[in-house]
Amino acid sequence: MPRSGYNWYAVAVGHWTGVFDYWDEAKEAVEGYPRARHQGFNNLAEAWEYVARGGAHSRRAWEQIRTTPESYGPYQNAYNYYAVAVGYETGVFGNWHEAKYAVDGYPRARHQGFDSLAEAWEYVAKGGAYSKRDWEKIRSTDDYYGY
């Protein structure tokens, strides 16, 4: 049963990491793990950001998301967000022009475009790997974006 006041429980450091719907699930992931990092959230994107940042409370990653200048053109910005999981700099960018600098020339860079901010942060949190089951679970919620 979840703690009152939170819709999501993020585990950044524990036996396993991720965002959980119920406190009991998150508790299993952190119980007995030395220096576990976890926190409750009402916003799914913020929960995934917490996991992606390893439990750090820095807002720098959010500040990386910038508005898309019109001069970049529609082709270069086919998606709303660009997630870089492996590159010179990781995070979520508001346009391809900025994300490109984080991956160009980086060996085996991992990046992908997304329409959803929550999906972009999940991709970063998982290092560019994700399972179909995880996507289906998150997409099935009515309050997917938390906005």
* Residue with the larger pLDDT of the pair 134 and 7: 7
**37-41, 86-90, 126-130, range with the lowest pLDDT:** 126-130
Query: In which band, very low, low, confident or very high, does the pLDDT at 130 lie, cut at 50, 70 and 90?
Result: low
Average pLDDT over residues 78-98: 84
pLDDT at 100 over 90: no
CB 38 within 8 A of CB 29: yes
pLDDT at 1 over 50: no
CB 102 within 8 A of CB 89: yes
Q: Quick one: pLDDT at residue 31?
A: 93
- Strands, DSSP E only, in the chain? 8-13, 18-20, 37-41, 81-86, 91-93, 110-114
* Residue with the larger pLDDT of the pair 9 and 125: 9
Q: For residue 82, count other CB atoms closer than 10 A to its CB.
A: 26
The pTM of this model reads 0.47
Q: For residue 34, count other CB atoms closer than 10 A to its CB.
A: 6
The Cα–Cα gap between 130 and 124 comes to 10
Average pLDDT over residues 53-65: 53
Tell me: the pLDDT tens digits for 2-25?
Answer: 455 788 898 888 888 888 888 998
* Residue with the larger pLDDT of the pair 77 and 86: 86
